[in-house]
Amino acid sequence: MYKEILVNIDESENRVAVLEDGKLMELYISREDRLIGSIYKGKVANILPGMQAAFVDIGLERNAFLCIDDASAILGEDAPSDFKTMSIKDLVKMNQETVVQVTKESWGMKGARVTTHITLPGRYLVFLPMAQYVGISRRIEDETERERLRRIAEEIKGDNYGIIVRTAADGKSKEELEKDFKYLTKLWNRINKDASKKKAPFLIHQELTLVSKTVRDLFTSEVNQLVIDSKADYDKVLDLLDISSPELKENVVLYTGQKNLFEQYNLEAEIEKALRRRVWLDSGGFLIIDKTEALTVIDVNTGKYVGKNSLSDTILKINLEAVPEIARQLRLRDIGGIIIVDFIDMETEEEKEQLLEYLQEELKKDHTKTHLVGMTELGLVQITRKRVNKDLDEYLRVSCPYCNGRGRIYSITSMRLKCEREIKKVATESNFETIILETHPKLAVEILGFEAEGIERLEKITGKKIILKANLDLHLEKIKIEGINEKQVSKYLPSIQIGENVNIDILDVFGINVTDGLGVYGKTLIDIKGAGNRVGENLSVYITSVSDNILTAVIKD
């Protein structure tokens, strides 16, 4: 597998893309100082015994959340094994100052999540100042190598600290690991010293920039090349590698092309695809990815693929094809929390086991902790993936200001019925002779009805004169209704005469009459005869009739 890391540097945003055989697998974006991994001295601002948690002021917009599991390091070596039976009030006190590390960014209305169990990642090791154990990366599978690294870690860590040996340590010497450990020990001593100097809240240690973190965490001997488009950052990367992995310097490439680096690799289009609800498979099948507040649902569909042999073969092929794409989408979109996958129903247990085994293998490629829970009786596959950052959708987009994130709005028919109810209500509750209704043009056409029979029917029911106005600036779900007296009517009527020529944008076809075009003059609807096939054009038209609610025109020769 050919693996590349692309680093795009911009004044306002830095981006890192991980490519495997030319396919975009992971995307990291940084627009501001990185929170996760940063260490603060905070002050307990609120204690919630009912939630076994506390809120800690670390100087950010929202107080950080500290649950009892993450607060136990405050007790140090005196922490009992059954500390979870204790109350949070026994661990922290109001206004108590404590050193915490951010483990999750703020999300939605929630503040950042913090822990007192500090970890300091290095190139080859993760330093655990609050623990004494040794852990080995699960990605190092060779038992002989695991045992060698465990012995080295036990020798260098001493009795006071713990160590996790990272994947990048595979094959490294004791001297290289010891050098990393000494650096991390010095860093921890500096953090302790700085923490004792000031009162909370303040930032003690800022996590590395995205570029530095990429070199530390992602750039290993498995990566064929790291391409970066900034000379200054290119030099910084080489300096970092001089200290940690000089043998990797030859794999760093400075990009000097005219095109944006991501455009050169056609990644901008791939990022757009990563935000879509539907993901196509090569065979013609597709995935539907829907995110809710509680979980993410992925639905597998056969789509255009009809297979060649039996139905069971078709289903198995689509399901197996979907597996690596699902694993890729989890990484690319950085989807966290609970994930439910609805594969197409399979008949045999052997096929189900084959699918789950394949999925398990693909999920192992994920750097983020991911757990395949299994398949339910309904055939739904359950996955959990550690939520650390905002997912890609949350980072790049906001909820639609019109539908508030629902993704759906009222249909034209529903809105017409709503308008009719509102008109009847105003007619009943007021003494005004005339009602002005202002809506989006498409809705206005629906209310007007064929040959204005809709408006005429409403006027007959309510006993009121109704003047319909079309406003392109109004959303389809927004309407304005007001009652006026007879003396005010004239200012709402069309200010144009038969025979006048005007230029009109053709917005759409005119309702069910698809041969005509829809336009608006002022705030009055125009039915342009024969303009149904000219949508999007600006036409010179000749006014042939004028009424209170609609103008009629023909295209000027």
Q: Quick one: CA torsion of 187, 191, 193, 198, rounded to 10 degrees?
A: 160
CA nearest to 132, candidates 156, 163, 153, 101: 163
Q: What pLDDT does 82 receive?
A: 65
Cα diameter, the chain: 97
Task: List the end-to-end C-alpha distance of the chain, in Å, as a whole number.
Answer: 64
Q: What pLDDT does 496 receive?
A: 93
Cα 241 to chain center, whole Å? Answer: 32
CA 307 to each of CA 282, 300, 302, 331, 359: distance values in angstroms, whole numbers, following the listed order? 13, 15, 9, 29, 22
- Count CB neighbours of 7 within 10 A: 25
Element (H, E) at 524: strand 524-529
Contacts 24+ apart (CB under 8 A), 316-322: 316/346, 316/351, 316/354, 316/355, 317/283, 318/281, 318/283, 318/285, 318/344, 319/343, 319/344, 319/346, 319/351, 319/355, 320/354, 320/355, 320/358, 321/281, 321/282, 321/283, 321/285, 322/281, 322/285, 322/287
Q: Which residue has the tokens 């109704």?
A: 466
Cα 529 to chain center, whole Å? Answer: 46
> From first to last of its 557 residues, what are the pLDDT tens digits of the chain?
899 999 999 888 899 999 999 999 999 998 876 788 899 999 999 999 999 999 999 998 889 999 988 888 776 665 666 666 788 888 889 999 999 999 988 876 788 899 999 999 998 999 999 888 999 998 888 999 999 999 999 999 888 899 999 988 998 899 989 999 999 999 999 998 988 888 889 999 988 889 998 998 899 889 999 999 999 999 999 998 988 888 999 999 999 999 999 999 999 999 999 999 999 999 899 999 999 888 999 999 988 877 677 888 889 999 999 999 999 999 999 999 999 999 999 889 999 999 999 999 999 999 888 999 999 988 899 999 998 788 898 888 888 777 777 778 899 999 999 999 999 999 999 889 999 999 999 999 999 998 889 999 999 999 999 999 999 999 999 999 999 998 899 889 998 999 999 999 999 999 888 899 999 999 999 999 999 999 999 999 999 999 999 999 999 87
The values of phi and psi at residue 431, to 5°, are -105, 10
Q: Tens digit of pLDDT for each residue in 314-336? A: 899 999 999 999 999 999 999 99
CA angle, residues 486, 490, 491, in degrees to nearest 5: 115
Q: What pLDDT does 300 receive?
A: 95
Q: What pLDDT does 101 receive?
A: 94
Instruction: Specify whether the CB–CB gap between 469 and 524 falls below 8 A.
Output: yes
Q: What pLDDT does 81 receive?
A: 64
Q: Beta strand 64-67 with 97-104: parallel, antiparallel or unpaired?
A: unpaired
